[in-house]
Amino acid sequence: MRLGIALAVALIAAGFLGYRHAHKTGYEAGSAAVRAEWGADRVRASDAASEALRAANAAYMADIARRDEVERELDAKLDAATRRGADLARRLRTQACPLPGAAHDTAAPVDGAAGVTDDAGAVDAALADHLAACERDATRFAELQDWVR
């Protein structure tokens, strides 16, 4: 009987050790597979994040370029409007009160026109249009500055 108990204990111990070895081997193999899959997922996520970052950076650079272009356009319009306003002011001064003793050059060049009009209403309308354009450009420029901030 002692031999039977010893044999039973030996079989139980061998079964337990065999089970433990099989479990540990399977666990390690499964863990390695899981780690490999996690690593692949991490690489895919990293690639996706890198691609998203590149796309965001490209969109940001395009936005900067568009903003710079708008700013250059507005600066050019502002310069042109300033020149037209100064020319209009000079022509109005010359028309309204010429300097004493100076040659009365009342035919000052007009922006794209063949001559100078004697119609005060037309001059007022042209001045109002010019000032409205200046105001629109200044408003757009202020909005751009607010957007940049």
Please report, in angstroms and rounded to a whole number, the separation of the first and last CA atoms in the chain.
Answer: 93
Q: In this predicted model, what pLDDT tens digit does every residue of 4-32 receive, in sequence order?
A: 888 888 888 888 888 888 778 777 777 77
Structural domain count, the chain: 1
Is residue 54 assigned to a domain? yes
Percent pLDDT > 70 in the chain is 84
Rounded Cα distance, 31 and 104, in Å: 99
Q: Is residue 136 part of a domain?
A: yes
Q: Within a domain: residue 17?
A: no
Residue 82 is assigned to a structural domain of this protein: yes
How many residues appear in the chain?
149
pTM for this model (two decimals): 0.34
* Residue 12 lies inside a defined structural domain of this protein: no
Whether residue 129 lies inside any domain: the answer is yes
Residue range of the domain that includes 138: 27-97+105-148
State the number of CA atoms in the 13 A half-sphere of 115 facing the CB.
4
Task: Specify whether the backbone of 118 is left (phi greater than 0), alpha (psi in -120 to 50) or beta.
Answer: alpha
9, burial (CB in 10 Å: exposed 0-12, middle 13-18, buried 19+)? exposed
How confident is the model over 59-83, as pLDDT tens digits?
999 999 999 999 999 999 999 999 9
